Amino acid sequence: MNYPYQVSIIIPFYNVATFIEKSARSLLNQRFESIQYIFVDDASTDISLDLLKRLINEFPNRVEDITILENKSNLGSSGSRNKGLEIVKGKYLTFCDGDDTIDENGVLEMFNAIESSKADILWTDFYYSYPDSEKLSIQAVVEDKNEFIKNLLQEKVHGALWNKLYKFSLFQDHKIKFIPNRDMWEDLYLNIQLFHFATKITYLPKAYYHYVQFNSSSLGSRNNPKKLEDILFHCQAIIEFLAANSNKTYLNEIASLKFAAKQTLLFSTEINSFKRWITIYPEVNDQAFQTNRLPLHLKTIAWLTSKNMWGIIKIWINIKNRKQ
């Protein structure tokens, strides 16, 4: 199949007026020419869209390569990315969030590496970006897709889409898309499928992507009931996909995933949250001291909860409430 572009980038955004100009500038300044840009405005209520349109005027050489989709109502990151998938024209596909940035040589070097290796998926390191500093996150994993999936399930590598470059044919051939209105762990859910169907994967030990950690309005920073429900939904979807396709290859790692899916309930100050924690995937309740995801005090709370020691849990809740 002939593709008009070598690389497509889908950029969903919602109310990122503080970040959109820097983010879009980093994309439009890429040292690689054959890029299709798909910006998806998820019904922003601030001036993000106006700022983007004004910035685009500074890049007349890129205008023909840019499409802006404007959602009439808020669809969330999954629905917005699905809109972008409908018009992709690139041989390869990557993603960027509207508050993050990519180094100007990122797309060029990722493209050269995936082409030379003849891989279906390439992944890189990335930076956690803070107001006054950055932290490099190394994503080194053996270039075996089964091992990579195991590491995804155990959160030993990041489940994001934005530090990876994919052959778009993976999406086309296997009809892979996001589940509408489910906006947490959606990246992980897609990556499990994409890596499963990939024939060859490769790692580029460089970092280009800057993942902003100080946008208080981002979906990932919100703590609400829907966030947990979306995580549990995608956890179950992943379990069902692997059960149908992996011949029990990942049983230990799935147990780890189940524990991770419900762990946010342990940060609560409500007794009902702890009672619910017991009922969700109860078969992994005894794994509290086996996980590296939780500090020791929360591992202890998890163990006490699994033993129905509600008196101690209530004391713990009272202590936390007094500190707040």
Cα distance between residue 181 and residue 89, in whole Å: 25
Strand-strand pairing, 164-167 and 90-95: antiparallel
Q: Do 249 and 268 touch, CB atoms closer than 8 A?
A: no
Q: Encode the chain (324 residues) as per-residue pLDDT tens digits.
A: 789 999 999 999 999 999 999 999 999 999 999 999 999 999 999 999 999 999 999 999 999 999 999 999 999 999 999 999 999 999 999 999 999 999 999 999 999 999 999 999 999 999 999 999 999 999 999 999 999 999 999 999 999 999 999 999 999 999 999 999 999 999 999 999 999 999 999 999 999 999 999 876 554 444 578 999 999 999 999 999 999 998 778 999 999 999 999 999 999 999 999 999 999 999 999 888 887 778 898 999 999 999 999 999 999 999 988 886
313-322 in b/e form (b: 16+ CB < 10 A) is beebbeeeee
What pLDDT sits at residue 111?
98
Residue 223: the pLDDT is 52
End-to-end CA distance of the chain: 58
* pLDDT confidence of residue 237: 97
pLDDT value of residue 220: 47
140-138-292-252 Cα dihedral, nearest 10 degrees = -20
203 SS3 class: strand
| pTM strictly above 0.85 | yes
Residue 23 neighbours by CB distance under 10 Å: 25
Contact 203, 141 (CB under 8 A): yes
pLDDT value of residue 217: 59
Looking at residue 324, its pLDDT comes to 67
For tokens 């053996």, what's the residue? 142
> Judging by DSSP bridges, how do beta strands 121-129 and 201-212 pair with one another?
parallel
